[in-house]
Structure 1
């Protein structure tokens, strides 16, 4: 395997600059700035290009002549310490050519380049054991090796942590990965191939070594069908193709090196479909419910689960998704992530072999009865579209040994059975077709610890029998039509997480008003040929019920009404969003929940102010607080007398403020702030720039009023993420010099309806560390193709396009202006667009 890896690194050398410019520069800076005898680690997933990167920097002009000798040592398994020391000595002593001084015209001696030799550079490739590395490092400090620097490559984070300096090498970005693939495949990627090429590169997970290997295989295949076959069966190719077997061993070794607890967590990830975007909290709460995470060494079960997730992320087995990262306290918190593509295949293969997880999809043809002992069942929408396998599936879901059931796509009424007596996790998030009646037997699942109905718009009421679920820890009904919690919920003494509200305030602050959603949904339906199939009677009834609910509640659909006695749920850690519009009693109940870490309240009115302040004061452990009020008055006067908790790290305010409360400027630990409809003026925004630890700022719809938003110099010193969305009436956003010196991500939501709504940005050149600009909803490429299959006449389409053309032209100009500014930025920037 060593020979295979080293030969592949040679092939990678000519491509070392593809997507690795910044990695190369950062690693060279680490070497140059390191002290004598310090160690630099390059850590990353197998095949990510660690070996090639280190070889590249060792041959770079900037390091040439800095070291007397460079010894490259591939690590061997099993490790033999005495053999290792002999190898190092052999690499450093034979045929050693002394560097002779040369005469200068002034008669003084000098050495080769200006950098005089400072000892030897020793490179250890693929260090895998923490114990072995501790022994190696101690030996290399001996004078006989004349060691100046050590660089190691490793896949093991525990080894990486023992080094003084480290560089975590990530997979290639999509664009760079595609560029590398195009360079190596040596085939003209015309239209027929381009789409498949993008899919194949995505399957390779941004790993250069695999991209090069697969590109080499495809050089011999000249039909699109052959490429599609490779794309669809890449995991099988890894196991069966002799050219890929070594790489499959490399991936599998990453799994073998995990601890037993991490192995269980890793295998559990295969309950989620390939390429799915997964919320971190959804995963870790499922881990705790299943018993994969437990209290140890004085850490809570939640802290242990978060640590397990971070361990998998440090190995690049799970990857954060784009802009869903925020700094909370002293650690980075990932809201959404995706399973590294090829590691997903390893997880699914291993879990199936151990009869742990059964995933039912269109590829499942073997006997279900033979696999009926699996502990976890995942049903995908692609499974049995024609309904011919219902009997076989019923026999599995009714068996009592199942610990979890996860449904993606279409829900069937027979999926939930009273015989699932040991079921701990029932995850029906975004399941289609789920109705109130399907929950009638939910109270019989006594061992249930995790119940998610999130995003199920067919759920209007929770049954009273939910009170029998005495072991329930997580109840997630965000995005359902539930407006009132049943009174029996106060019996759930172990409940830790309760999330509710018709409108789901996601971790990324996504927000969608129901009265905007309905016309959009109807419009989309009527553009299809099968409008009557999509708009069945059940959906019509659902929409009518939704509209009635919205009207009765005055469009305040963000929370639920809590029952009397909600204060009895002493174990609650997270509660939101609770509607307090109908009285103060619920605030008095919340005041009793002294262990709350996260709280969301909506429906705040003027007469709630005193009780609201008292409630927040009582919840002294709060880390996340969300407050919302509708109407012109909004939150005016309601926040003046609040004494915020010292540990408050995330604050969301939705509603007119009038002016910024003074206490916000005193939040010394606040890292994330989200504002909507606050109507702040310029001075209020600048006051936010004084917050010392603020790393993430989200200025959403109508948070600012004024034609020009100016970010002044020497403000927002810690800010890393800035989101701007829906600043109605704001024509210009300006960044002055020396403002937001650390900003890395600028996210702009461009939901513009008219040309006059467009906003210009100036001074982006003044953001020295800006790495990425993300434009959401930039409408500059839509055409008549979007209306294919519709009933609209061609003339109507042309007329519609003509009306939109000025907006597209303005948006294109906006994009080009941003690109021109980014070209002058010192950092390697990326401009992304999402719709």
Structure 2
């Protein structure tokens, strides 16, 4: 408002001149110009908060300027943590590892700078950080970030710091900036926008971090050139570069590499056995619940080689082939057991000829904390159990099950009790309480099934007392109902009691023998007076519930159910129908989030229930409502256009192959004609020689 009033009082060229001056010195003008006196209290508060921060957190905030365009590229906590470790800023203490120390700093940073669940750099706060960078240089401060963008050129005016950021709006024709700059002490390079080869002009022996996630125009040849010039690289991110198809041989020379992020590239096979210091490998393609428009993804995310528009995709579509989802992970050879420092690994495809050799290798990686596997089938599920059951440090596990004729039995998969986050995608059989009872530390569960959850399945999930976040998606075309009860029905408890022998003592025999084994039904039953059993509460700690609706679904919350639920998210597909009742019974509800394609009827029904709620929760609409007819017609047009493009590309490919064959036939014909002609010339010569003899 203050800036609007300031510019609104000017007209014509004066306004444009003032605006240009304000852009060039934004924070300085807001702090010193008398016309912005109303902002003095705000800046005084920001100065006070910044100066009161501890040294380690202040350094994190100054490092925040590296992510100058994170408002367009979402900043992930793991991204910050891995970079912070590679920079050498994280330290190991008696009670915390380097990862735990960096994660704790990031958690404190988000509390100080943002209150949103999905952290992004605030643009105004980012400008304030840049202004403080200049002030902090007056004091001894071992962290300097240099930024190249449209309005600033810190490299040319102030010298180069340890960290260089090249923004997308910086003109790429100003190559002369790099001619007189000393890069020998450069520690990290972060690039947004189009990549140019002169960004790495010669060998940089001190560069530890190369973050190219926000760039474009990088191919296999350029990647090989730059890696040969970076012998001490610790962090390499190539995420999102579809044009990169393989890692060059020079990657084996990166002996200090700790983090390799090649997710959403076209790389399908890697050999990294020589990189003994690798701690994190992010590769392949994770399955997504939502597409780029915020709508529920009806099919699993395809790997890079099957992306829309590629030749493989067009051929498969033209010939009627269907991708089964097994290619979401990359293939690795046997021998990854030698990477003893690995803490994050995935996505790895185990549905290969050597898949049985990979799972025993994973079993030897005792430092694993996060593991993502694809290609899980009934045949290799027993090898999976042997690979993960003794992983005492494993906290996050993601399994992508192959959709085949026979589903994977959940009873055949044994998981360690240390797991805090579990993601299951694909063709899974009915849930088993015997396995879920062992997950005592499970906080977050993402579950995709081909069949609608039954009442017993909900009871099994509700019995996980530590569960805080639950994400459910059912890829089923049939109608269904999800009913959340407050506790286990009494008749089910009585029926269980009748199955036991009358002489059985109240104490479980397995517990008396010291064995930790759970029965195959819900065990959450508490005895009040030694005779009468009271059903245990279901979803006693659940705070976030996320549902993906692909068909007609009815969700019912009974009175007293999910008492601690604060946020409910619903993702609707264009041809789905969602009905939610009982929101007034959710006593802790704060927000209902509606995404995707939904009608006015659902929106009005939810708003009506929230208006009658005592706490008046907010209804958040993240995607604009679209009518099913318009979406269907648009999708039909897109499919039609894609069919035409696929057929044209297919025909062009066939013609190209025919042309190559014609060229080959011509070369063969020329070869034989030349051979025959030479033979005709040589025969008279040989005859004359024999006659002369």
Distance 1:562 1:507 in 2: 28
Matching residue of 1:591: 363
2:584 pairs with 1:759? no
Matching residue of 2:131: 349
SS for the counterpart of 2:568 is strand
Matching residue of 2:100: 303
Matching residue of 1:290: 87
Structure-2 change in CA distance of 1:557 and 1:711 (3 Å): same
Distance 1:663 1:680 in 2: 19
Deviation at 1:548?
A: 6.9
2:559 pairs with 1:737? yes
2:157 is aligned, of 367, 370, 389, to 370
Structure-2 change in CA distance of 1:360 and 1:260 (3 Å): same
Matching residue of 1:630: 402
**1:84-233 to 2 correspondences below 5 Å:** none
Moved more, 677-686 or 623-632: 677-686
Matching residue of 1:562: 332
Distance 1:460 1:751 in 2: 33
Contact kept in structure 2, 1:394 and 1:414, CA below 8 Å:
no
Distance 2:219 2:322 in 1: 22
Distance 2:384 2:338 in 1: 19
2:548 is aligned, of 725, 729, 746, to 725
Contact kept in structure 2, 1:434 and 1:459, CA below 8 Å:
yes
Distance 1:402 1:507 in 2: 39
Structure-2 change in CA distance of 1:623 and 1:219 (3 Å): same
Q: Residues 196-239 of structure 1, C-alpha deviation per residue, up to 9 Å, x if partnerless? A: xxxx6xxxxxxxxxxxx778868968999799889967534332
Deviation at 1:735?
A: 1.2
Total equivalences in the alignment: 548
Distance 1:576 1:595 in 2: 14
Q: Residues 32-68 of structure 1, C-alpha deviation per residue, up to 9 Å, x if partnerless? A: xxxxxxxxxxxxxxxxxxxxxxxxxxxxxxxxxxxxx
Structure-2 change in CA distance of 1:557 and 1:609 (3 Å): closer
Matching residue of 1:496: 279
Contact kept in structure 2, 1:681 and 1:704, CA below 8 Å:
no
2:60 pairs with 1:268? no
Q: Residues 569-601 of structure 1, C-alpha deviation per residue, up to 9 Å, x if partnerless? A: 000001111000113111111111111111111
Structure-2 change in CA distance of 1:426 and 1:371 (3 Å): same
SS for the counterpart of 2:168 is coil
Deviation at 1:443?
A: 4.0
Contact kept in structure 1, 2:22 and 2:29, CA below 8 Å:
no
Distance 1:710 1:704 in 2: 19
Moved more, 640-649 or 586-595: 640-649
Distance 1:776 1:225 in 2: 41
**1:49-60 to 2 correspondences below 5 Å:** none
SS for the counterpart of 1:578 is strand
Deviation at 1:269?
A: 0.4
Distance 2:207 2:115 in 1: 29
Q: Residues 388-431 of structure 1, C-alpha deviation per residue, up to 9 Å, x if partnerless? A: 312324655x7222111111122223333442221111011142
Contact kept in structure 2, 1:478 and 1:504, CA below 8 Å:
no
Bigger Rg, structure 1 or 2? 2
Structure-2 change in CA distance of 1:658 and 1:282 (3 Å): same
Contact kept in structure 2, 1:238 and 1:247, CA below 8 Å:
no
Deviation at 1:475?
A: 0.8
Structure-2 change in CA distance of 1:502 and 1:434 (3 Å): farther
Matching residue of 1:400: 184
2:113 is aligned, of 307, 310, 317, to 317
Deviation at 1:560?
A: 0.5
Deviation at 1:713?
A: 2.2
Structure-2 change in CA distance of 1:643 and 1:254 (3 Å): same
Contact kept in structure 1, 2:208 and 2:234, CA below 8 Å:
yes
2:256 pairs with 1:471? yes
1:654 is aligned, of 425, 434, 444, to 425
Matching residue of 1:255: 50
Matching residue of 1:813: 601
2:390 pairs with 1:618? yes
Matching residue of 1:707: 480
Matching residue of 1:670: 442
Deviation at 1:700?
A: 2.2
Contact kept in structure 1, 2:193 and 2:214, CA below 8 Å:
yes
SS for the counterpart of 1:369 is helix
Contact kept in structure 1, 2:362 and 2:387, CA below 8 Å:
yes
Structure-2 change in CA distance of 1:643 and 1:273 (3 Å): same
1:462 is aligned, of 247, 253, 257, to 247
Contact kept in structure 2, 1:616 and 1:642, CA below 8 Å:
no
SS for the counterpart of 2:120 is strand
2:474 pairs with 1:679? no
Contact kept in structure 1, 2:287 and 2:300, CA below 8 Å:
no
SS for the counterpart of 1:676 is strand
Deviation at 1:617?
A: 1.5
Matching residue of 2:218: 434
Matching residue of 1:419: 203
Distance 1:608 1:827 in 2: 50
Deviation at 1:703?
A: 7.5
Structure-2 change in CA distance of 1:832 and 1:640 (3 Å): same
Contact kept in structure 2, 1:689 and 1:716, CA below 8 Å:
yes
Structure-2 change in CA distance of 1:579 and 1:412 (3 Å): same
Deviation at 1:293?
A: 1.4
Aligned-residue CA RMSD (Å): 3.4
TM-score (norm 1): 0.61
Contact kept in structure 1, 2:268 and 2:284, CA below 8 Å:
yes
Structure-2 change in CA distance of 1:547 and 1:458 (3 Å): farther
Matching residue of 1:750: 572
Structure-2 change in CA distance of 1:746 and 1:457 (3 Å): same
Contact kept in structure 2, 1:452 and 1:475, CA below 8 Å:
yes
